[in-house]
A and B are shown apart, each in its own frame.
Chain A
Amino acid sequence: MKLVVVDPRFTNTAMHADTYVPIRPGTDLAFVLALTYVAIIDQVYNRSYVAKNFVDFDKYKKHIIESEYTPEWAEKITGVPAATICKIAHDFMASAPQAVYYQGRRTTWSKNDFQLRRAMALFTALGGGIDVKGGIVFGKKLPLGEHTTTAPMYANAKPRIDKNLAAVVGATGTWVGWRNMVEEGKSPYPIRGMFVYKQNPMLSVPNSAKTRTMFEKMDLVVVIDTMPSDTAMLADVILPECTYLEREDPVQSFAGIEPSIAIREKVIEPMYESKPVNEIMRGLAQKLSKPLWVITKKYDEDVQEELEDTAEDEFYEENGFDLAEPFMHDQEETNKHMFVEKYGEEAWGVLREKGVFYPNMLTYFKKIDNNTYEYYPKDKKFYSVLKLEEEYDPVAFLHDICVNPVDVADLKRSFNTPNKKVECFLGSMAAKGVDPMPVWRDEEYVNVPVGKFKFITGRHAQFTQNATQNNIMLLELMRENYLWINDKEAEALNIQFGDTVEVTSRVGHVRIKAYPTAKIVPQTVFYIHGFGAKSEGLTFAHRNGASDNEIIEDTIEPVHGCANMHETLVSIRRV
Chain B
Amino acid sequence: MNYAMALDYQNCINCKACEVACKEENGVQLGADKQRIWIGVVEGTIFGKPFANLYPSQCNHCIDAPCVSVCPTNASHFAQGGIVKVDAHKCILCKGCMEACPYDARFVDDTMVAVDKCTFCDHRSLVEGGTTACQATCPTKVRTFGDLDDENSDIVKLLKTKRFFFQKEYTGTLPKLFYILPNDETYAKQSVSHNTIIHTWEEIKPMYDQARNRRSTEWRK
Which positions in A face B, CB cutoff 8 Å?
Answer: 10, 12-13, 15-16, 18, 20, 369-372, 461-462, 472-474, 476-477, 479, 517-519
Contacts and interface: CB of A to CB of B under 8 A. Distances in A.
A484 to B, nearest CB: 11
A474 B54 contact: no
A12 B50 contact: no
Contact of B13 (A20, A461, A519): A461
A571 to B, nearest CB: 25
Given A15-B54, A370-B154, A462-B15, 18 more contacts: A12-B13, A12-B14, A12-B15, A13-B13, A20-B50, A370-B131, A371-B138, A371-B143, A371-B154, A372-B141, A461-B14, A473-B24, A476-B19, A476-B31, A477-B20, A518-B45, A518-B48, A518-B50
Nearest to A15: B52
A479 B32 CA distance: 9
Contacts of A15: 14, 51-54
B23 A10 contact: no
B58 interface: no
A370 B54 CA distance: 22
A479 B53 CA distance: 22
B141 A371 contact: yes
Nearest to A12: B14
Interface in B133-151: 135-136, 138, 141, 143-145
Interface in B10-44: 10, 13-17, 19-20, 23-24, 30-32, 43-44
B135 A477 contact: no
A370 B16 contact: no
Contacts of A372: 141
Contacts of A20: 49-50
The CB with the most chain B CB atoms within 10 A, among A10, A13, A18, A479, is that of A10
B3 to A, nearest CB: 14
Range of interface residues on chain B?
A: 20 to 34
B125 to A, nearest CB: 9
Contact of B154 (A18, A369, A518): A369
B13 A370 contact: no
The CB with the most chain A CB atoms within 10 A, among B31, B52, B131, B138, is that of B52
A461 B20 contact: no
B135 A10 contact: no
Contacts of B24: 473
A371 B135 contact: yes
Contacts of B23: 473, 476
Nearest to B20: A473
16 contacts: A10-B52, A15-B14, A15-B51, A16-B13, A369-B154, A370-B129, A370-B131, A370-B136, A370-B144, A461-B13, A461-B14, A473-B20, A473-B30, A476-B23, A517-B50, A518-B44
Nearest to B131: A370
B120 to A, nearest CB: 13
A473 B34 CA distance: 12
A370 B145 contact: yes
Contacts of B13: 12-13, 16, 461
Contacts of A462: 15-16
A440 B53 CA distance: 37
B32 A371 contact: no
B50 A519 contact: yes
A474 B50 CA distance: 27
A18 B143 CA distance: 23
A476 B144 contact: no
Nearest to B141: A371
A517 B45 CA distance: 10
A318 to B, nearest CB: 50
B135 A370 contact: yes
A477 B31 CA distance: 9
A518 B44 CA distance: 8
Contact of A10 (B16, B50, B54, B141): B50
Contacts of A12: 13-15, 52
Interface string B143-178: 111000000001000000000000000000000000
B182 to A, nearest CB: 11
Nearest to B45: A518
B19 A477 contact: yes
A477 B49 CA distance: 26
Contacts of A13: 13
A266 B133 CA distance: 24
A266 to B, nearest CB: 20
Nearest to A471: B20
A479 B10 CA distance: 26
A371 B137 CA distance: 10
Contact of B30 (A16, A369, A476, A517): A476
A519 B48 CA distance: 10
Contacts of A472: 30
A351 to B, nearest CB: 23
Contacts of B52: 10, 12, 15, 519
A519 B49 CA distance: 8
Interface string B116-137: 0000000000000101000110
Contact of A461 (B16, B54, B145): B16
Contacts of A10: 50, 52
The CB with the most chain B CB atoms within 10 A, among A12, A370, A479, A519, is that of A370
Contacts of A369: 154
Contacts of B131: 370
Contacts of B43: 519
Nearest to A476: B30
Contact of A476 (B32, B44, B141, B186): B32
Q: Which 7 A-B pairs have the closest CB atoms?
A: A461-B15, A371-B141, A10-B50, A370-B131, A12-B14, A518-B50, A518-B45
A57 to B, nearest CB: 37
The CB with the most chain B CB atoms within 10 A, among A15, A372, A518, is that of A15
Contacts of B135: 370-371
A461 B14 CA distance: 8
Contacts of A371: 135, 138, 141, 143-144, 154
Given A369-B154, A370-B144, A372-B141, A477 B16 contact: yes
B189 to A, nearest CB: 13
Contacts of B10: 16
Contacts of B186: 18
A312 B148 CA distance: 79
Nearest to B21: A473
B57 to A, nearest CB: 15
